[in-house]
Amino acid sequence: MILSLIEEAQAIDWYEQRMSVEKDKDAKAIMKNAQQEEFKHFGMDLEFLLRKKPEWRTILKAILFTTGDIVKLGKKGEEKVD
């Protein structure tokens, strides 16, 4: 599942690169739709992994959907599992 997560991230990146050079508005819209689909897959893979790895979830809960200094939040998350 980790490799699947990586592959979904790669797919998101490929669409990002292709969209950055695409001139055709309709082609770009189709790629954006496809990229959002890959992002959904990425999220599902990540959630699957976090359900299997409670420590990863603890760290990410300190970082994701927050505001403030991301590095500090990351350290705070790590401290919660130490």
Report the C-alpha gap between 42 and 44 in whole angstroms.
6
Position of minimal CB gap to Fe ion: 41
Q: What Å distances lie between residue 65 and 27, 30, 62, 81, CA to CA? A: 31, 28, 9, 19
If the CB atoms of residues 6 and 81 are measured against Fe ion, the closer one turns out to be: 6
Which phi and psi (to 5°) does residue 32 adopt? -65, -40
If the CB atoms of residues 28 and 41 are measured against Fe ion, the closer one turns out to be: 41
Q: How far is the CB of 52 from Fe ion (least distance, A)?
A: 20
Q: How far is the CB of 72 from Fe ion (least distance, A)?
A: 33
List interacting residues with Fe ion (CB under 5 A).
8, 38, 41
